[in-house]
Structure 1
């Protein structure tokens, strides 16, 4: 097995809630991320999917050490960086970069494209051969922009072009890992394809690993080798792409996949049933006991309220296909019976 590039273990992030008229005191916590385990391998993409508010973006910012975790551990190339200070993180910062969701607010409107892309090199004192400005023009060309646009401002570009500028900025320090937080969700569908194809080409040519955060399962399937499904701060299923999309085991994953639009069926096969979840996502301030999905799950029983299901491998699954459910779905979407491996029940 290839050595892990990034490893998150038991990671938690709680945001305190403060109340009171005169004296503000802590009255609770928002459980944004509540004990997750994830690994990203060199040159591969791990997709992280789930509904809005499930903690995906917070996980990405934790992975990039833009915010500090409440508990758990973050290891980069085997080194513990969970509580590393600014000086300790300085040599690691260039190797972990981020592409933000909104291509409009993530670029400073007062800076030219050249200064935006050159900024990371200025901060870290990187002096590439030929100078920084030459490297900026090379990066603009790599991401499909005209190098002559060096002195233009962000407002002169479309949304897709602005996101390409963000990609060029992320590449400026030659990172080993890029955390892409919903990089195409604000773009038109045709532009989404262009940006995803660009990221795939960069991964192939430069060997960059991605933590790719999105809510569009079709986009994640196209770009990711492994996929983790997140619900209310927890990982409920994680597997390689083919196993998760063809043999999902968690009811929530089934519901998500049933919502993916499909072209008109011309094969004569029975169309996939649309699963409609009842109710809303519970509040992360006071999450349900036991399984967090039980309040919307059609298979929920008393055990689901009393015990939190561990993330385990089920019989019939690949060794890296893990599911957190007491009563998982059949190993295929056709409806065959499942049996828990007795060795995993202890």
Structure 2
């Protein structure tokens, strides 16, 4: 991004106070039915992709959503953008209930909630030029910016670090990182208030990931856009997000600000995730961190465990964990806003306790 480039101001609307809730999800649930039987196709089960989660994204903040593959992160992103219909729960945007809003009711909100998809190769129409791809949302929403749509598209290309002369090129003429920048430009075309970024850098080379993350961070700061940043890379989320939630098997198991989660995690699963992040000690002064190796596989979302869903892989599991689901609450010694769902939370430290191997490794 050029230093002398001035980003355009968002369209004139009544500004919301910073820190006020922008998007709120309560008890959000999505079950995908499993059909079986012959000759009559009937529902024989359901994949519990997302099962009763609560999230709040505030105005202008970057909120991270992390967890391993299959935990329901991407499904959550598609639910809050209303690309999927929720099975249960409630979604409100700027105080308006949009959980089951009809197409006409949600049309004015569509332009304010945009999405950046995970795969830059399949999210762009190969038969359309870059100009058509980016100007498409403006055409659909009847937006005619000053100077015309072509001028606006060229401005957006420059904002995301591409040459405005690429207006007439096709997606196959760009690299993966450049295609993702086109996706960012398309998301910015309607000057949204919230962008859901579904693992926007996971399909890119490591050398390109930092460039795209820095671009999103610059856009977020300059335009005051709120981000729901979905990723499994904890290092990327730590760099980008101010607050984050940790998901496991369709449930949110810990929520807090960046420093609190990374330095004082309380849920055993969060401990295990952080212990898996590689670190390079170039000074020789680093303190040994606890290493935890989880045993077993993630249970099936078709038939998740009773009580705490992490108990089948947890080294602290007890009878209570199987009979009672732990509520997502603030512990007495947690920082305000740091919520944990665990009956037997870990000590607020990520340092090793006398050994470099965590307690879970004893089960190996």
TM-score by length of 2: 0.91
Which of the numbers 296, 307, 332 marks the counterpart of 1:315?
A: 332
Q: How far is 1:273 from its partner?
A: 2.8
1:310 offset after TM fit, Å? 0.2
- Determine helix, strand or coil for the equivalent of 2:111: helix
Superposed counterparts of 1:1-346, under 5 Å: 2-264=19-281, 266-334=283-351
Q: Deviations over 1:141-181 (max 9, x none)?
A: 00000000101000000000000000000000000000000
2: CA distance between counterparts of 1:177 and 1:264? 37
- State the Cα distance separating 1:266 from its structure 2 match: 2.8
Instruction: Work out whether residues 265 and 271 of structure 1, in 8 Å CA contact, stay in contact via their aligned partners in 2.
Output: no
1:260 offset after TM fit, Å?
Answer: 0.5
State how far apart, in whole Å, the 1-side matches of 2:213 and 2:285 are: 32
Greater Cα shift, 305-314 or 268-277: 268-277
What secondary structure, in the 3-state scheme, does the structure 1 residue paired with 2:38 have? coil
How far apart are the structure 2 equivalents of 1:295 and 1:53? Answer: 17
User: Quick one: distance in 2 between partners of 1:304 and 1:150?
Assistant: 57
Offset at residue 271 of structure 1 (A): 2.2
CA deviations 1:42-73 (Å, max 9, x no partner) are 11011000010000000000010111100000
CA–CA separation in structure 1 for the residues paired with 2:58 and 2:208:
28
Quote the Cα distance in structure 2 between the aligned partners of 1:82 and 1:13.
Answer: 12
Equivalent residues of 1:180, 1:210 under 8 A apart: yes
SS at 1:118 equivalent: helix
1:193 positional shift: 0.3
| Per-residue deviation, 1:333 | 2.3
Query: Is 1:11–1:74's contact at 8 Å kept on the other side of the alignment?
Result: yes
CA deviation after TM superposition for structure 1 residue 265, in Å: 5.5
> Contact between 1:44 and 1:225, CA under 8 Å: does it hold in 2?
yes
CA contact (8 A) 1:5 1:76 kept: yes
- Separation of aligned partners in 2, 1:333 and 1:179: 30
Q: SS in structure 2 opposite 1:5?
A: strand
Structure 2: state its 5+ residue gaps: 1-17, 354-364
Q: Distance in 1 between matches of 2:110 and 2:286?
A: 50
Higher mean C-alpha deviation, range 23-32 or range 270-279: 270-279
Given that 2:290 and 2:351 are in contact with CA atoms closer than 8 Å, whether structure 1 keeps it comes out as no
- d(CA) in 2 for partners of 1:144 and 1:335? 43
Counterpart of 2:15?
Answer: none
> Shift of residue 312 of structure 1?
0.7
> In the alignment, is the contact (CA less than 8 A) between 1:48 and 1:227 conserved in 2?
yes
Number of residue-to-residue matches in the alignment? 336
